[in-house]
């Protein structure tokens, strides 16, 4: 506020008084003149002050009005909803964005209380969360659900703050519907399988955490497709993907409020069941097996695939929900061992086997370094004259803690854990070292075969390793043979180049347990093999089962027509031997000739005899 009018009026009055006093010659009344002079100056100053104050107030009012208009324009321009309520919670001001958010007009809003914008549940939550913070800190920020005029709801982020020195509140509201939708979309992607769109392992774990609080009885079915890898490798991944989609559709068909389906990945699925007794769960398992083995028609082809199921139950099998998947996985593994296309409940026996398997794995990791592994050799003989034609090298394990452990027990564990890689290399080197020792003693050389697993081929250094060991021990490749199982044929593109390379070195190739797998005649014709070994299951029932005899005859005829050597396994009686000779199989092995023997027994029983 400036002094303009105070100075002007005071100056006018002082000047006027000076002029008047000088004309009236009031020198004899000098004191009176001074008093009048000062009084007029004061009057001028007071009147000027009032004028200055009025003019300043008018200017301030104009400036304030401009400022208020600017603020109002700003508040009306923002996209955030802004509302001001009085001490009773009644709206005194809302901007346009706030009106748009809730669907009320300004006139309607000014008759509303803030509680009209929320459900009773949201109001209760705000009273619990927001009010204490407002009383303590003067503001609160969080998320809640708003209710529009038409009754629809929307998620919102809201900031509530006290207006200083009043009982009024200002709230700033932001609609976060799109943000929530995006987050839900991202969460959905993270919790669902890309191919089948079923909930995945992450979602399963999340749901299990919820079930822990709400359910006292839960069952988990771990489903694994049988021989799905063969489908992928023979028909292609597009075919396999389409098969998985159709399997998922069939599983979803059994889903209801108490049954949920999940896809862990690959060919593994989970069925999670709440509140079902043992019989009900068993019926679901049977239904799943029957449902999934119905033929599929994909890209013009018909395919039948089966599944194996492991089942674990809470709290029957464990009090720890986190163990359900592992226990069901273990039960599923044993279902596959029992012949596939079946189900198995987890039980104490499986628990003991699981514990033993864990011990076997632990001890097996130290078996090579502690020299607990050794090789036995089973003779292969001519069935006509009983002459020795070769040996099969068979690994054995004597552990101080576990005793003699059967290969049927520890080899699958070695396969699963990858220990078979080192064990397989040890076997090859050990056998070739023994052959070198026998060779140095002047014993006649015969072909010795070694079993090779699929995992060894996957390492892609098998050929180089065998070649190096042959050279290191100075053994002619023609006296060395590898035995593979029919299941390896599923990895056709991986196996064939390596088998061909081994064949080119002069190494023999034999298919072990032929007739128990799923190899096609076309693959047998392509494989660079020398020998087919008839599985002992055919030999055992050769005399008692006509169909087995016919199958054995068929295998022998296939081998003869393909110019392959045929060796029968598991020969135990003279009658079996005679029948095999009658079917044109002239080589074999089994307890009829000899059980597997250690190197010293082989040397004394066979090699010295052959030498003489």
DSSP string, 324-389: HHHHHHHHHHHHHHTTSS-EEE--HHHHHHHHHHHHHHHHHTTTTTTT-EEEEEEEEEETTT--EE
Q: What is the mean pLDDT of residues 225-233?
A: 86
pLDDT for residue 64? 43
Q: CB of 262 within 8 A of CB of 200?
A: yes
pLDDT for residue 574? 95
Rg for the chain, CA atoms, rounded: 47
User: For 579-609, how does the pLDDT look when each residue is reduced to its tens digit (9 = 90+)?
Assistant: 999 999 999 999 999 999 999 999 999 988 7
- Pairing mode, strands 447-451 and 388-399: parallel
Q: What is the mean pLDDT of residues 183-202?
A: 90
Dist CA 417 CA 443 (whole Å): 38
- Going by C-beta distance under 8 Å and a sequence separation of 6 or more, which residues neighbour residue 451? 392, 393, 394, 427, 482, 483, 484, 512
567: left (phi over 0), alpha (psi -120 to 50) or beta: beta
User: For 369-402, how does the pLDDT look when each residue is reduced to its tens digit (9 = 90+)?
Assistant: 999 999 999 999 999 999 999 999 999 999 999 9
Dist CA 578 CA 534 (whole Å): 15
Dist CA 265 CA 194 (whole Å): 10
pLDDT for residue 483? 95
Confidence category of residue 141, pLDDT binned at 50, 70, 90: very high
Q: Output the CA torsion 525→526→528→534 (10° steps).
A: -40
Q: Both tokens of residue 298?
A: 């994909």
Q: How crowded is residue 181: how many other Cβ atoms within 10 Å of its Cβ?
A: 11
Q: CB of 482 within 8 A of CB of 509?
A: yes
Q: Which residues pair with 169 in a beta bridge?
A: 85, 162
Dist CA 352 CA 452 (whole Å): 29
pLDDT for residue 519? 53
Task: Choose the weakest-confidence range: 203-212, 373-382, 477-486.
Answer: 203-212
Q: Both tokens of residue 459?
A: 């390492």
Q: Both tokens of residue 444?
A: 């006649």
Long-range contact pairs involving 317-321 (C-beta distance under 8 Å, separation at least 24): 317/346, 317/347, 321/208, 321/209, 321/211, 321/212, 321/218
User: For 552-571, how does the pLDDT look when each residue is reduced to its tens digit (9 = 90+)?
Assistant: 898 899 888 889 999 999 99
The residue that leads in pLDDT, 525 or 237, is: 237
Q: How crowded is residue 189: how many other Cβ atoms within 10 Å of its Cβ?
A: 10
pLDDT for residue 515? 65
pLDDT for residue 11? 65
Read off the DSSP letter of residue 195.
T
User: For 48-79, how does the pLDDT look when each residue is reduced to its tens digit (9 = 90+)?
Assistant: 566 556 555 656 545 444 444 445 555 676 77
pLDDT for residue 8? 61
Q: Could you give the 3-state DSSP secondary structure of residue 532?
A: strand
Tokens 């059967």 appear where? 406
The DSSP H or E segment spanning 581 is helix 574-582
The DSSP H or E segment spanning 158 is strand 153-162
pLDDT for residue 36? 60
Q: What is the mean pLDDT of residues 203-215?
A: 85
Q: Both tokens of residue 540?
A: 């055992």
pLDDT for residue 250? 96
Q: What is the mean pLDDT of residues 445-452?
A: 96
User: Residue 356 CA to chain centroid, in angstroms?
Assistant: 27
Cα 550-337-495 angle, rounded to 5 deg = 70
Dist CA 439 CA 435 (whole Å): 6
User: For 148-181, how does the pLDDT look when each residue is reduced to its tens digit (9 = 90+)?
Assistant: 999 999 999 999 989 888 888 889 899 998 988 8
Tokens 């042959």 appear where? 470
User: For 350-359, how does the pLDDT look when each residue is reduced to its tens digit (9 = 90+)?
Assistant: 778 878 888 9
Could you tell me how many helices (H) and strands (E) the chain has, helices first? Answer: 23, 21
Q: Both tokens of residue 537?
A: 């299951």
Q: What is the mean pLDDT of residues 129-139?
A: 88
Q: What is the mean pLDDT of the chain?
A: 86
Strands across the sheet with 307-314, in order? 259-265, 268-274, 218-225, 307-314, 343-345
Q: CB of 396 within 8 A of CB of 375?
A: yes
Q: CB of 390 within 8 A of CB of 382?
A: no
Dist CA 570 CA 539 (whole Å): 7
Q: CB of 109 within 8 A of CB of 91?
A: yes
pLDDT for residue 21? 55
Dist CA 395 CA 418 (whole Å): 16
pLDDT for residue 16? 60
Q: Is the predicted pLDDT of residue 494 greater than 90, yes or no? A: no
Q: CB of 269 within 8 A of CB of 223?
A: yes
Nearest to 513 by CA among 438, 569, 583: 569
Dist CA 450 CA 452 (whole Å): 6
Nearest to 156 by CA among 183, 179, 182, 175: 175
pLDDT for residue 166? 85
Task: Choose the weakest-confidence range: 244-248, 423-427, 458-462.
Answer: 458-462
Q: Output the CA torsion 549→551→553→554 (10° steps).
A: 170
Dist CA 371 CA 113 (whole Å): 85
pLDDT for residue 555? 87
| pTM assigned to the model | 0.61
Task: Choose the weakest-confidence range: 37-41, 395-399, 523-527.
Answer: 37-41
Dist CA 562 CA 560 (whole Å): 5
The DSSP H or E segment spanning 508 is strand 508-514
User: For 233-256, how does the pLDDT look when each residue is reduced to its tens digit (9 = 90+)?
Assistant: 778 889 999 999 999 999 999 999
Q: Is the predicted pLDDT of residue 336 greater than 50, yes or no? A: yes
Q: CB of 494 within 8 A of CB of 458?
A: yes
Which of 108-112, 372-376, 451-455, 522-526 has the highest average model confidence (pLDDT)?
A: 372-376
Q: How many residues would you count in the chain?
A: 612
Q: Is the predicted pLDDT of residue 92 greater than 70, yes or no? A: yes
Q: What is the mean pLDDT of residues 4-8?
A: 58
Q: Is the predicted pLDDT of residue 421 greater than 90, yes or no? A: yes
Dist CA 18 CA 497 (whole Å): 128
Which of 122-126, 293-297, 447-451 has the highest average model confidence (pLDDT)?
A: 447-451
Residue 247 phi, psi dihedral angles, 5° rounding: -65, -45
Q: How crowded is residue 12: how many other Cβ atoms within 10 Å of its Cβ?
A: 13
Q: What is the mean pLDDT of residues 438-451?
A: 95
pLDDT for residue 68? 43
């Amino acid at each position: 506020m400036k002094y303009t009018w105070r100075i002007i009026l005071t100056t006018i009055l002082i000047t006027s008084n000076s002029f008047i006093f000088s004309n009236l010659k009031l020198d004899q009344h000098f004191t009176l003149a001074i008093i009048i002079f000062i009084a007029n100056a004061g009057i001028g100053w007071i009147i000027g002050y009032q004028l200055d104050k009025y003019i300043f107030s008018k200017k301030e009012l104009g400036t304030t009005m401009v400022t208020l208009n600017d603020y109002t324009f700003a508040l009306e321009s923002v996209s955030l909803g802004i509302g001001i309520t009085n001490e009773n919670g009644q709206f005194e001001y809302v901007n346009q964005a706030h009106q748009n958010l809730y669907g009320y007009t300004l006139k309607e809003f000014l008759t509303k209380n803030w509680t009209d914008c929320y459900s009773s549940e949201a109001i209760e939550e705000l009273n619990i969360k927001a009010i204490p913070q407002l009383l303590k800190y003067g503001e609160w920020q969080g998320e809640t659900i708003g209710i529009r005029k038409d009754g629809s709801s929307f998620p919102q982020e809201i900031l509530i703050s006290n207006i200083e020195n009043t009982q009024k509140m200002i709230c700033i509201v932001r609609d976060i519907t799109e943000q929530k939708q995006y987050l839900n979309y991202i969460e959905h992607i993270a919790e669902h399988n890309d191919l089948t769109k079923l909930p995945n392992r992450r979602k399963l774990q999340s749901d299990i955490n919820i079930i822990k609080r709400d359910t006292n009885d839960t069952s988990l079915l771990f489903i694994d497709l049988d021989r799905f890898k063969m489908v992928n490798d023979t028909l292609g991944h597009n075919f396999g993907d389409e098969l998985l989609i159709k399997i998922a559709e069939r599983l979803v068909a059994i889903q209801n409020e108490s049954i949920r389906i999940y896809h862990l990945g690959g060919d593994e699925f989970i069925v999670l069941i709440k509140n079902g007794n043992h019989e009900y769960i068993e019926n679901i398992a049977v239904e799943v097996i029957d449902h999934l083995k119905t033929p599929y028609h994909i890209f013009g082809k018909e395919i039948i695939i089966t599944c194996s199921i492991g089942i674990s139950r809470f709290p029957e099998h464990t009090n720890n929900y986190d163990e359900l998947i592992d226990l069901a996985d273990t039960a599923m593994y044993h279902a596959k061992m029992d012949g596939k296309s079946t189900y198995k409940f987890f039980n104490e026996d499986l628990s003991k086997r699981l514990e033993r398997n864990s011990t076997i794995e632990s001890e097996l990791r130290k078996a090579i370094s502690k020299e607990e592994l050794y090789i036995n050799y089973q003779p292969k003989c001519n069935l006509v004259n009983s002459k020795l034609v070769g040996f099969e090298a068979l690994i054995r394990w004597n552990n101080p803690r576990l005793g003699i452990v059967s290969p049927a027990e520890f080899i699958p564990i070695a396969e699963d854990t990858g220990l078979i890689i080192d064990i397989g290399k040890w076997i090859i080197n050990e056998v070739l070292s023994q052959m070198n020792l026998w060779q140095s003693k002047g014993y006649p050389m015969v072909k010795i075969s070694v079993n090779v697993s699929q995992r060894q081929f996957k390492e892609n250094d098998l050929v180089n390793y065998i070649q190096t060991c042959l050279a290191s021990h100075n053994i002619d490749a023609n006296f060395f043979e590898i035995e593979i199982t029919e299941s390896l044929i599923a990895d056709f593109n991986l196996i064939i180049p390596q088998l061909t390379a081994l064949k080119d070195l002069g190494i023999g190739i034999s298919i072990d347990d032929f007739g128990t797998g799923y190899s096609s005649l076309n693959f047998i014709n392509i494989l660079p093999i020398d020998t087919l070994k008839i599985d002992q299951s055919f030999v055992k029932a050769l005399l008692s089962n006509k169909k087995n005899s016919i199958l054995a005859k068929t295998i022998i005829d296939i081998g003869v027509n393909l110019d392959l050597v045929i060796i029968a396994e598991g020969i135990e009686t003279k009658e079996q031997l005679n029948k095999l000779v009658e079917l044109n199989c002239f080589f074999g092995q089994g307890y009829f000739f000899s059980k597997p023997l250690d190197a010293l027994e082989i040397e004394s029983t066979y090699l010295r005899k052959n030498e003489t």
